[in-house]
Amino acid sequence: MDTESSIYVAGHRGLVGSALVRKLKALGYRHILTKTRNELDLTNPYQVDHFFEENRPQYVFLAAAKVGGIYANSKYPADFIRENLAIQTNVIHASYRFQAKKLLFLGSSCIYPKMAPQPLMEDYLLSGKLEHTNEPYAIAKIAGIKMCEAYNKQYNTNFMAVMPTNLYGPNDNFDLEHSHVLPALIRKFHEAKATGQGHVVVWGTGTPRREFLHVDDLADACIYLMDKFHAKTVGPFLNIGTGEDLPIKELAQLIRQTVGFTGNIVFDSTKPDGTPRKVLDVSKTDRLGWKASIGLKDGIEQTYRWFQEHYDQ
Ligand SMILES: NC(=O)C1=CN([C@@H]2O[C@H](COP(=O)(O)OP(=O)(O)OC[C@H]3O[C@@H](n4cnc5c(N)ncnc54)[C@H](OP(=O)(O)O)[C@@H]3O)[C@@H](O)[C@H]2O)C=CC1
Ligand SMILES: C[C@H]1O[C@H](OP(=O)(O)OP(=O)(O)OC[C@H]2O[C@@H](n3cnc4c(=O)[nH]c(N)nc43)[C@H](O)[C@@H]2O)[C@@H](O)[C@@H](O)C1=O
């Protein structure tokens, strides 16, 4: 990639897409193509083909998807599998037809079997049963990996896939039902403090462990990989994370402290825990010369400041 390359960021208004655009602009890339969902519905193959034919992007970051936390995944399994399969099928196929030099597909660490050994190595893909709360979403993501691999094999394309751990940062979804745990807890503790509530309810038992990566680190990794590596040299896909996790209970305590809430934490064990643990083995990206640099405490503080500036009621 050079600063004159034409680069399409699909999903540029989301958590990941917006971080990619921020970073690409900061690095001096001048031709960044973006389209809102109203302008281009990526589930529609005719619209996607038309866009690629007209714009012929050289590099494609595929960060558009139907995304949500444990509750949204459980409640809308049909939407999660249908929309994700459609978006990725259309964008990957158009990238091949209109000769994109390279594509980077965003998967997720939920592709790995629920009871796989920890940390999760790339080799563990398809070695066991998936976590049921997000199986349809995970199956769509696995299909995306396999599609990139198949196109590379049959058509000699250069399509790569990355599997990020749980992400957070500016432009995250702070909805109380549909979001992921970290933004949901920022909002819950913030509102509890503002309204003088005595406690905050945290879903599940608090014992599941999760790994969190700041989205600016993810964007940095994606651009580094897109710029420097060929799918043939890195293998079919790569984990991206910090390699460190913590129990949800400790995450809740950290967010409570950051927000300055002095009340109690109450666990609602009627809500699902999901996967007990999913910490990534990050030795492959490490060997390629990339490491996360934003610590969780600093990242939460920065995200909380962003939330206060954009969401405070
Ligand atoms: N967030 C996380 O913790 C993780 C995310 N990922 C992956 O990273 C990628 C990006 O996720 P994230 O940024 O969090 O998601 P967001 O929900 O924040 O953003 C998704 C983006 O996709 C766009 N989009 C969705 N459907 C369509 C459509 N039919 N046509 C056009 N655009 C569409 C949305 O547009 P609009 O703004 O109009 O809604 C939005 O801009 C996904 O592939 C996700 O699976 C992987 C691991 C963890
Ligand atoms: C990124 C990843 O995200 C999802 O998987 P998940 O990691 O299980 O998602 P989550 O962030 O929603 O929950 C993590 C843990 O946290 C607990 N938890 C406590 N209190 C709240 C709470 O208030 N909200 C939420 N959402 N969770 C809560 C919750 O019960 C669970 O034990 C999938 O979309 C999956 O497909 C995927 O890729």
pLDDT in tens, 14-34: 999 999 999 999 999 999 999
Which one of 29, 96, 112, 137 is the catalytic residue? 137
What's the CATH number where 222 sits?
A: 3.40.50.720
Per-residue pLDDT at 71: 97
Query: How is residue 306 written in tokens?
Result: 């962003």
In a domain, 137, yes or no: yes
Per-residue pLDDT at 36: 98
Residues of the chain whose pLDDT is less than 70?
Answer: 312-313
In a domain, 98, yes or no: yes
Q: What burial class does residue 149 get, using C-beta atoms within 10 Å of its C-beta: 0-12 exposed, 13-18 middle, 19+ buried?
A: middle
Report, in this order, helix, strand and coil percent for the chain, each rounded to 5.
Answer: 45, 15, 35
Q: Is 30 annotated as a binding-site member?
A: no
Domain residues for the domain of 116 are 6-170+213-243+278-294
Per-residue pLDDT at 313: 53
Q: Into how many domains does the chain fold?
A: 1
What gap in Å lies between CA 191 and CA 259, rounded to an integer? 10
Query: How is residue 144 written in tokens?
Result: 């995306």
In a domain, 60, yes or no: yes
Q: Are 301 and 168 in contact (CB under 8 A)?
A: no
Q: Are 45 and 90 in contact (CB under 8 A)?
A: yes
**Closest atom of ligand 2 relative to the 68 alpha carbon:** 34
Query: How is residue 183 written in tokens?
Result: 């933004």
Distances (CA, A) of 233 to 72, 121, 301: 36, 17, 37
In a domain, 32, yes or no: yes
In a domain, 13, yes or no: yes
Per-residue pLDDT at 312: 63
Please report the ipTM that was assigned to this predicted complex. Answer: 0.98
Closest listed residue to residue 294, CA positions, set 19, 106, 68: 19
Instruction: Give the residue ranges of DSSP H helices in the chain.
Output: 15-26, 45-55, 70-75, 77-97, 135-155, 181-195, 215-228, 231-234, 248-259, 283-287, 296-311
pLDDT in tens, 125-146: 999 999 999 999 999 999 999 9
What spacing in Å lies between the alpha carbon of 105 and ligand 2's midpoint? Answer: 22
Residues with CB under 6 A from ligand 1: 11, 13-17, 36-37, 41-43, 63-67, 87, 106, 108, 164, 166-167, 173, 180
What gap in Å lies between CA 199 and CA 203, rounded to an integer? 13
Other beta carbons less than 10 A from residue 98's beta carbon: 17
What gap in Å lies between CA 43 and CA 66, rounded to an integer? 11
In a domain, 57, yes or no: yes
In a domain, 125, yes or no: yes
Q: Is 134 in the pocket of ligand 2 (CB under 6 A)?
A: yes
Q: Are 204 and 184 in contact (CB under 8 A)?
A: no
Q: What is the pTM of this model?
A: 0.98
Closest listed residue to residue 201, CA positions, set 273, 264, 274: 264
- Amino acid identity of 31? H
For ligand 2, pick from 180, 188, 212, 273 the residue to mutate: most ligand atoms within 8 Å of CB. Answer: 180
Closest listed residue to residue 226, CA positions, set 89, 112, 80, 57: 57
Per-residue pLDDT at 236: 86
The torsion angles phi and psi of 211, rounded to 5 degrees, stand at -110, 140
Closest listed residue to residue 308, CA positions, set 168, 202, 197, 183: 183
In a domain, 47, yes or no: yes
Per-residue pLDDT at 311: 86
